[in-house]
A and B are shown apart, each in its own frame.
Chain A
Amino acid sequence: DTGVSQDPRHKITKRGQNVTFRCDPISEHNRLYWYRQTLGQGPEFLTYFQNEAQLEKSRLLSDRFSAERPKGSFSTLEIQRTEQGDSAMYLCASRLTANEQFFGPGTRLTVL
């Protein structure tokens, strides 16, 4: 257990539905990251927060994706109008300054 938690661990949804994932970082970590990982690939960066400010978004993050980190604590990642291509593991990580990132267990999304 790294101290980063994610909820839910698994989500099965039908195409076109909206889904929301939650990440709780290690409490003193001011930086929070979202990554997406498909089968057989390494994780790919989606977006990053420093405290409550969203400082960078990947071009992978289409307009159907939105992430928030109100109050600089937990974060949510919402996917609207899900597509089958959104099926993946969504990983959250946190860190303090320029040190190692600690990852949560991930949320596995399956879009039918």
Chain B
Amino acid sequence: SQQGEEDPQALSIQEGENATMNCSYKTSINNLQWYRQNSGRGLVHLILIRSNEREKHSGRLRVTLDTSKKSSSLLITASRAADTASYFCATDGKGAQKLVFGQGTRLTINP
């Protein structure tokens, strides 16, 4: 079963615009991780945010975490066609060793 939900399920924007994806989860976590997956390929790790962190940046990526609301968001600024992919959040729960994934957001960047 999936831990959380991602919103929206699909997002289509123009190149250069910003893309925001949201993730909600249900149980306490150690950290939350975001991954990118191009069609039919493996997952690429983007960023990890720990439960005691509220915001983290990596290049054009900005991730926020609100543990009181059990939610996270991923912002991609100045989007590029190469950002077209599915994006997944995954929670690493307290005492658990496995990642629990959401269903993902399919992002399409139109040139």
- The chain A residues found within 8 Å of chain B, CB to CB, are 2, 4, 31, 33, 35, 40-45, 48, 50, 55-56, 89, 91, 93, 98-106, 108
Contacts and interface: CB of A to CB of B under 8 A. Distances in A.
A45 B100 contact: yes
Interface string B82-111: 000000101010000111111110000000
Residue among A42, A48, A93, A104 facing the most chain B CB atoms (10 A cut-off):
A42
A73 B96 CA distance: 22
A91 B97 contact: no
B42 A105 contact: yes
Contact of B45 (A43, A44, A100): A100
B33 A43 contact: no
Interface residues of B, number: 24
B101 A56 contact: no
Given A41-B104, A42-B103, 7 more contacts: A42-B90, A42-B102, A44-B1, A50-B97, A55-B97, A91-B43, A103-B35
Nearest to A106: B42
Contacts of A43: 43, 88, 90, 99, 101
Contacts of B60: none
Interchain residue pairs A-B with the least CB separation, the first 10: A42-B101, A45-B98, A105-B42, A103-B43, A103-B42, A100-B48, A100-B45, A106-B42, A43-B101, A42-B88
Contacts of B35: 103
A102 B40 CA distance: 17
Residue among B33, B45, B97 facing the most chain A CB atoms (10 A cut-off):
B97
B111 to A, nearest CB: 25
Contacts of A91: 42-43
Nearest to B1: A44
B33 A101 contact: yes
Residue among A35, A43, A55, A99 facing the most chain B CB atoms (10 A cut-off):
A43
B74 to A, nearest CB: 14
